[in-house]
Amino acid sequence: MEEHELPRVLQQLWGIEGRSRPGPKPAFQVQDIGDAAIKLADAGGLGAVSMSKVAAELGVTTMALYRYVEAKDDLYVVMLDQAFGLPPEVGEAADWRERITTWAEAFQAALQKHPWILQVPVVEPPLSPNQLVWMEEGLRAFEHTPLTPTDRMSAMQLVNIYVRGTTGLSASMLSMPPEEAAAAGKQYLRRLRGLATPDRFPTIAAGLDEPQDYIDNDPSEFYFGLTTVLDGIQTLISRRN
């Protein structure tokens, strides 16, 4: 009923079949197109994904893709769903912190494996199957806590946002060779030191004397921030009791 109002891509992703129809058989499924596009994006960033390149990858004309996908945005939807795949089951860990942490780690791993995800223009909230599974699993992490459903949604979105944000800051770095990334970091620090002079930017400058990296993406930074986020949620939980 309601599902018939769904955009065609979502129908395809959810496997809602159109009845068998006359005419030649389609040569592939949207998923195949998604796979080809993901392959290109993994190799060359989202910019490397064009209709013609995807079509070439599949050995097909550009316009053939439009038999499977109404517009390029639809292709993005498919790519996202495929790239996320299924989350790990949070399962049996007793502690909600432990559960949401594995979820966050898996989320981060997906973003690091496919850094282009963060560049996909977001036009609508997610409705594709795998994304809903991630959502379900994220919410399940807060089972057996006094949080209300709305609380849980907020908490999960907070973690979601945090992971996207921290990974995003270093996302452009992820797509380059490590020594180049390190060089870029050094260069940034050098420039920042040159511009953020102690007279006009005392507070920034105060941090620049510190030995360590101060701005960026070593893995401990991830857990440091995540801890802070989870501490905030902990406070919320305590308050709900």
Partner DNA sequence: GCACACTGTGTACGACATAGACAGACCATA
Partner DNA sequence: TATGGTCTGTCTATGTCGTACACAGTGTGC
C-alpha 216/C-alpha 230 separation (Å) is 20
Site string for a second copy, 129-148 (x = CB under 8 A): x--xx-xx--xx--x----x
Asked if 122 interacts with a second copy (CB under 8 A), we say yes
Q: Which of 121, 177, 178, 219 binds a second copy (CB under 8 A)?
A: 121
Shorter beta-carbon distance to a second copy: residue 64 or 196: 196
C-alpha 141/C-alpha 90 separation (Å) is 7
Shorter beta-carbon distance to a second copy: residue 28 or 168: 168
Calculated CA dihedral for residues 63, 67, 71, 74, nearest 10 degrees: -130
Footprint (CB under 8 A) of a second copy, residues 33-62: none
Give the range of 64-72, 88-96, 98-106, 209-217 binding DNA by CB under 7 A: 64-72
The identity of residue 164, as a single letter, is R
Asked if 67 interacts with DNA (CB under 7 A), we say yes
Q: Which of 8, 39, 72, 164 binds DNA (CB under 7 A)?
A: 72
Footprint (CB under 7 A) of DNA, residues 11-40: 20-28
Q: Which of 7, 14, 57, 66 binds DNA (CB under 7 A)?
A: 66
Shorter beta-carbon distance to a second copy: residue 58 or 173: 173
C-alpha 26/C-alpha 191 separation (Å) is 55
Footprint (CB under 7 A) of DNA, residues 128-147: none
C-alpha 207/C-alpha 72 separation (Å) is 44
Footprint (CB under 8 A) of a second copy, residues 168-207: 168-169, 171-172, 184, 188, 190-196, 200-204, 206-207
Q: Could you list the residues that contact DNA (CB under 7 A)?
A: 20-28, 49-53, 60-64, 66-68, 71-73
